[in-house]
Amino acid sequence: MRTSRRLLLRFYHDPGYDFSQVEVEYVDRGAPGDRSRVQGDRVVALDAQYLEVDAGTHAACIPYHRVRRIRYEGETMWQHGDRPGDAGKA
């Protein structure tokens, strides 16, 4: 099973993908519906335990366990809780 981190690393390093087309949805307590989204061009770093995003006034660290969905060009490529072979069926 591919993890959210491994998929993001693939999108980031593979020249066949445009990382700015990635959208990450994650749990964000206090946000509307407790969810937020960030586009790939705002991702500053992919650390071992979290992704670091430009939050405007500061860098925010989002642990991978909070990631709920990853989209590429609008298509769901990974979703929390998917079993192998289910990616893209959301």
Q: Is 61 among the domain residues?
A: yes
Residue 42 in any domain: the answer is yes
90 in a structural domain:
no
Number of domains in the chain: 1
For the whole model, what pTM was predicted? Answer: 0.85
Buried b (16+ CB within 10 A) or exposed e, 38-55: bebebbeebeeebbebee
Q: For the domain that residue 69 is a member of, what is the CATH number?
A: 2.30.30
Domain membership of residue 70 as a residue range: 4-79
Answer whether residue 69 is part of any domain.
Answer: yes
* pLDDT value for 81: 80
**For the residues 18-25, what does the mean pLDDT come to?**
98
What tens digit of pLDDT does each residue of 23-82 get?
999 999 988 999 999 999 999 999 999 999 998 888 999 999 999 999 999 999 999 986
First to last CA, the chain: 16
pLDDT of residue 1: 54
The per-residue pLDDT for 55 is 85
| 86: in domain | no
Q: Please name the residue that has the structure tokens 């020249």.
A: 15
Residue 40 lies inside a defined structural domain of this protein:
yes
